[in-house]
C-alpha cells in the first residue's frame, strides 16, 4: 500500500547523501518534497501541516547542524515523526480482570468487520483465550451466515439467536441490543474469556447507525470498542473516524485491507486526528492475515528500512522448534541432508506465508520491488510435488535416482524429466552447502566479488568437484588477484601467515564488506527459483 509513498520519500532523501552541511534551502526543498509525497498519498491536510512543521523545526536546530552526517540525521527525524503520527507506541488489548473481556466492533458496511471478527477470534484463541463471536449485525443480508462460516473456519463458536436479513428486499428483524445482551450472558454461563460483538454497518454515516451502536455499547459495557476502517478510502477516512468517535467513542482503530494498492492516507491520518491508537492491521483474506500494529515498524517499512522484528516473530510462530532442533543435531553429526529434510524445510517456509511479503520486510527491498513481484511462488508447489512423487528410498538416497526412476517421478508429479533433473542438481548444491556448514567451512561457491553466493553477480556456480588449480609463478593480469598475490608475498617475507581472501568463511580475514548496490542485482530474480 505504501509503495508509492516509500519510493517518493526514498528518492527525496537521496539528494541529502554525502552533504557535510545542509543549508536552509536544502531543508526547505526536502520538506517541500515530503509534503507533496504525503498529499499524493491522500494524507489529511492538517496532519501534513503538523508533520512537516515538526520536521522543519527539528531539522533547522542544532540536532542536524551539529551532526557528522546531517543527511542521515534528517532521515532519523522523519522516522521519529512518522512514529508519532502513527500513534507513538503499540498498545495491547485491555483484558478484563473479572469475567469475559467484551470487544465491540464498529464501522461502515464493507470495511471488513465480520472478517476481522474471525481473524481476531483466531488470534486470541492462539494466545490461549476462549472467544465467543456474537452476531449482532441483523441489517446486512447474510451477515449472520457469514459470521457462522468465519467462526467455523476459526474453530470458534458463534452465538446467533436471530437469523437477520437474508435478502436485499427483506426488512430487518430482531433486536441487535438484545442479541448482544444475550451473547454476554451466554459467554458468562459457558465461561468464555472473550466476547467479540459484530455490529451492523451502513453505506454512510447516519444517525440510526450511531444510535444503534451507542445502545449496544451501553448494554454490554465493552472493555474495547474497535473502529474498523478501510485503509483504501483516503481523505474520507478522517471524516468517518471523527463521526464514529463522537457517536460511539471508540478506544482503538483497526486498519483493514492494508494489503491493497491504494495510497494509504488513512493509516497516516486516523491516529493523529482521533487520538486513538491503531491496534491491528488486516493484511489479507486468510484468518492468519492479521498483524498487531507497531508504529515504529510501520514507519520503518514506509522509509524502506525493513521490518526484521515482524519477520522474526512470524518465523518463531510458524517454524517447528522440534524440527529445527532435529536438523541442528543432524548437521552436528555430519549426517547427509536428504530430500525428506529438504521437503520439511520447504513446508515450513510455506507456512510463513507469501515469499513476496517476507522479502518486502527486508531493508532496501524497495529498489527491487519489480524483481520481487516477478517471483513465481508456485515454484515451491511444483518442487513439493516432485519430492512427494519419490519413494522413501529415493528421498533418503538420491544416488539411486537413475533415468527410469526420474521418468516415473516426472510422470507422477505432472512435470518433465528436465524439471526433475534441475531439482536434483539444486538439491546436490544444497547438500554440499549443508556439509560445508556442518564442518565449519562456510558456504561453498563463495567468490571474491561482492555477490558472494554461487549464481549471483560476483560469484561462481558450483560445478561439482573442482579441478586442482594450476600454480602460476608470474603476476596475474587481474588487478584484484595481483593485489592478493603481492599481499601474500609481503606476509611470507615478514614470516606471517597469508591473509584469507575476501569472501572466506564467516568473514575471517576478509576485506571490509561493501554495501549492496541494487543496480548490480539481476532484473529477474525468478531464475533462481527455476526448475
Q: Per-residue b/e over 33-61, b at no fewer than 16 CB within 10 Å?
A: bbbebbeebbbbeebbeebbebbbebbee
Q: Do residues 257 and 230 lie in contact, with contact meaning Cβ atoms separated by under 8 Å?
A: yes
CA contacts within 13 A on the Cβ side of 519: 0
Three-class HEC string of 123-143: HHHHCCCCEEEEECCCCCCCH
The single-letter DSSP state of residue 414 is T
Please answer whether residues 373 and 367 qualify as being in contact, where contact means their C-beta atoms are separated by less than 8 angstroms: no
Q: What sign has the CA pseudo-torsion 463, 464, 468, 471? A: positive
Count Cα neighbours of 365 within 13 Å in the Cβ-side half-sphere. 21
Query: Shortest CA distance to 199 belongs to which of 134, 110, 150?
Result: 134
Find out whether 258 is annotated in a ligand binding site: yes
Cα gap 497→488, rounded to integer Å: 8
Does the annotation list 340 as a binding residue?
Answer: no
Which H helix or E strand runs over 348? helix 339-351
Is 378 annotated to bind a ligand? Reply is no
CB atoms within 10 A of CB 177: 16
Please tell me whether 256 is known to bind a ligand: yes
- Taking the C-alpha atoms of residue 148 and residue 115, their distance in angstroms, rounded to an integer, is 11
Q: CA-based angle 265:258:108, to the nearest 5? A: 75
Q: Dihedral (C-alpha) 23, 71, 517, 354: value to the nearest 10 degrees?
A: -130
Contact 488, 477 (CB under 8 A): no
Rounded-to-integer distance, Cα 103 and Cα 194, Å? 7
Whose CA is closest to 434, among 529, 333, 331?
Answer: 331
The answer on whether 113 is annotated among ligand-binding residues is: yes
Helices 339-351 and 378-388: angle between axes, nearest 10 degrees: 150
Residue 112 annotated as lining a ligand binding site = yes
Cα 491 to Cα 29, 76, 481, 486, distances in angstroms: 52, 43, 15, 9
Q: How far apart are CA 28 and CA 24, in angstroms?
A: 6
> Which residues on neighbouring strands pair with residue 256, listed in sequence order?
230
From CA 75, how far away is CA 9, in angstroms rounded? 9
CA-based radius of gyration for the chain = 29
For residues 323 and 33, give the distance between their C-alpha atoms in angstroms, rounded to a whole number.
Answer: 50
Question: Binding residue per annotation — 265?
Answer: no
- The answer to whether 259 is a known ligand-binding residue is yes
341 contacts 330 by C-beta, under 8 angstroms: yes
**200 assigned binding-site residue:** yes
Q: Measured in Å, how far apart are the chain's first and last C-alpha atoms?
A: 31
Show binding-site residues: 107-114, 198-202, 256-259
Binding-site annotation, residues for GTP: 107-114, 198-202, 256-259
Amino acid at each position: 500500500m505504501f509503495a508509492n509513498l516509500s519510493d517518493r520519500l526514498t528518492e527525496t532523501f537521496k539528494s541529502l547523501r554525502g552533504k557535510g552541511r545542509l543549508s536552509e534551502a536544502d531543508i526547505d526543498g526536502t520538506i517541500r518534497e515530503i509534503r507533496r509525497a504525503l498529499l499524493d498519498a491522500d494524507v489529511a491536510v492538517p496532519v501534513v501541516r503538523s508533520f512537516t512543521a515538526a520536521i522543519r523545526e527539528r531539522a533547522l536546530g542544532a540536532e542536524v547542524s551539529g551532526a557528522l552526517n546531517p543527511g542521515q540525521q534528517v532521515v532519523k527525524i522523519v522516522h521519529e515523526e512518522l512514529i508519532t503520527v502513527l500513534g507513538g507506541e503499540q498498545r495491547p488489548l485491555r483484558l478484563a480482570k473479572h469475567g469475559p473481556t467484551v470487544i465491540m466492533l464498529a464501522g461502515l458496511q464493507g470495511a471488513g468487520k465480520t472478517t476481522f471478527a474471525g481473524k481476531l477470534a483466531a488470534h486470541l484463541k492462539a494466545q490461549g483465550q476462549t472467544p465467543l463471536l456474537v452476531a449482532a449485525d441483523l441489517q446486512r443480508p447474510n451477515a449472520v451466515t457469514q459470521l457462522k462460516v468465519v467462526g467455523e473456519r476459526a474453530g470458534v463458536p458463534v452465538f446467533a439467536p436471530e437469523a437477520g436479513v437474508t435478502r436485499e428486499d427483506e426488512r430487518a428483524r430482531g433486536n441487535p441490543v438484545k442479541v448482544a445482551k444475550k451473547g454476554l450472558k451466554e459467554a458468562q454461563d459457558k465461561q468464555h474469556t472473550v466476547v467479540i460483538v459484530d455490529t451492523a454497518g451502513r453505506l454512510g454515516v447516519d444517525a440510526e447507525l450511531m444510535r444503534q451502536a451507542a445502545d449496544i455499547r451501553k448494554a454490554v459495557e465493552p472493555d474495547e470498542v474497535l473502529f474498523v476502517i478501510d485503509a483504501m478510502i483516503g481523505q474520507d477516512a478522517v471524516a468517518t473516524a471523527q463521526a464514529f468517535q463522537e457517536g460511539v467513542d471508540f478506544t482503538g482503530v483497526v486498519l483493514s485491507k492494508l494489503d491493497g494498492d491504494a495510497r494509504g492516507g488513512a493509516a497516516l491520518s486516523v491516529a493523529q486526528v482521533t487520538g486513538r491508537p491503531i491496534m491491528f492491521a488486516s493484511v489479507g483474506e486468510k484468518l492468519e492475515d492479521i498483524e498487531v500494529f507497531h508504529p515504529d515498524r510501520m514507519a520503518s517499512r514506509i522509509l524502506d528500512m525493513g521490518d526484521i522484528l515482524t519477520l522474526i516473530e512470524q518465523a518463531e510462530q510458524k517454524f517447528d522448534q522440534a524440527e529445527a532442533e532435529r536438523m541442528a543435531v543432524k548437521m552436528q553429526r555430519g549426517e547427509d541432508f536428504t530430500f525428506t529434510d529438504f521437503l520439511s524445510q520447504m513446508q515450513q517456509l510455506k507456512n510463513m506465508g507469501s515469499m513476496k511479503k517476507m522479502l518486502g520486510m527486508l531493508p532496501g527491498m524497495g529498489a527491487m520491488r519489480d524483481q520481487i513481484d516477478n517471483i513465481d511462488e508456485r515454484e515451491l508447489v511444483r518442487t513439493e510435488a516432485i519430492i512427494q512423487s519419490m519413494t522413501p528410498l529415493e528421498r533418503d538416497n538420491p544416488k539411486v535416482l537413475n533415468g527410469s526412476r526420474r521418468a516415473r517421478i516426472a510422470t507422477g508429479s505432472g512435470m518433465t524429466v528436465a524439471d526433475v533433473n534441475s531439482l536434483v542438481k539444486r538439491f546436490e548444491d544444497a547438500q554440499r552447502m549443508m556439509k560445508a556448514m556442518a564442518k565449519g567451512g562456510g558456504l561453498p561457491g563463495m567468490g571474491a566479488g561482492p555477490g558472494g553466493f554461487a549464481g549471483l553477480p560476483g560469484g561462481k556456480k558450483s560445478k561439482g568437484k573442482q579441478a586442482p588449480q594450476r600454480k602460476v609463478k608470474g603476476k596475474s593480469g587481474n588487478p584484484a588477484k595481483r593485489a592478493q598475490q603481492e599481499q601474500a608475498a609481503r606476509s611470507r617475507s615478514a614470516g606471517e601467515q597469508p591473509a584469507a581472501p575476501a569472501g572466506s568463511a564467516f568473514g575471517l580475514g576478509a576485506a571490509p564488506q561493501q554495501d549492496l548496490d541494487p543496480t548490480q542485482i539481476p532484473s529477474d530474480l525468478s531464475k533462481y527459483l527455476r526448475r
